[in-house]
Amino acid sequence: MKRMLLLMVIAAALPAAAQSPQVLQGDQITESALVDALTPAPAPVLTRSINSQAPAPTPPKPSKASLLITFETNATTLTPAARRELDVVARALNTPKLADFNFLIEGHADPRGIAERNQKLSEGRAQAVRRYLVQSQGVREDRLQAVGKGDREPLKPDEPAAPENRRVTFVNLSR
C-alpha cells in the first residue's frame, strides 16, 4: 500500500513533458479546455544580470491542443460528431483571449498504409477542418493555416492503429 502511494506521488511529480501528450476527445473538447491549452504562456520576466555565464532563457514552446476529430474512413469528410466538436473549437478561437492569435491546423494520420496516401489524407483532413471553421463557423480565414503531417509523428508508435495517431492539432503561432 505504501509502495503504491509512493509510486502515485512520483508519477504526479513527473514533468508534463515526460508524459505523452493528451488528446482531447468527445466531452473533453470544451471551450475552456481549448482556451487554456491555446493561450500562450506569459513572456518570462527578464532582468539584468551580472553573471555573464548565465544560460540564455529558452523560448517557450508554442501552445497547442491535440483533438481526436473523426472523419469518414479513408476520407476527408467530417463526421457529425466532428462538426459538433469543431463548433466548440470555433467558439474558443473566437473568444477575446484567442481572437488576436493565428493558428496552424496540423492533420495527422496513423502509419498504416502507404506514406504518400497518408500524407495526402492528413493534408485533406487539415484543410477540411480549416474550411469548416471558416465557412460554417465564421473564424477569419487569415487566422488559420492548414498542413498535413502524414504519419511521421504518431503519439503511440507502438500502436499503429491507435486513434490518437489520427488527430488534428491546433498550434498557436504566436511567440
Query: 36 by DSSP, 3-state: which?
Result: helix
Q: Does domain 21-40+60-172 have CATH number 3.30.1330.60?
A: yes
What is the DSSP-derived secondary structure letter of residue 78?
B
Q: Which residues of the chain have pLDDT under 70?
A: 1-21, 43-60, 175
Amino acid 82: pLDDT = 93
Location of C-alpha cell 515526460: 18
pTM of the shown model: 0.78
pLDDT, tens digit, for every residue of 106-130?
999 989 889 999 999 999 999 999 9
Amino acid 162: pLDDT = 87
User: 141-160 burial, b for 16+ CB within 10 Å, e for fewer?
Assistant: eebbebebbbbeebbeeeee
Q: CA-CA distance, 24 to 173, in Å (whole number)?
A: 20
Amino acid 173: pLDDT = 93
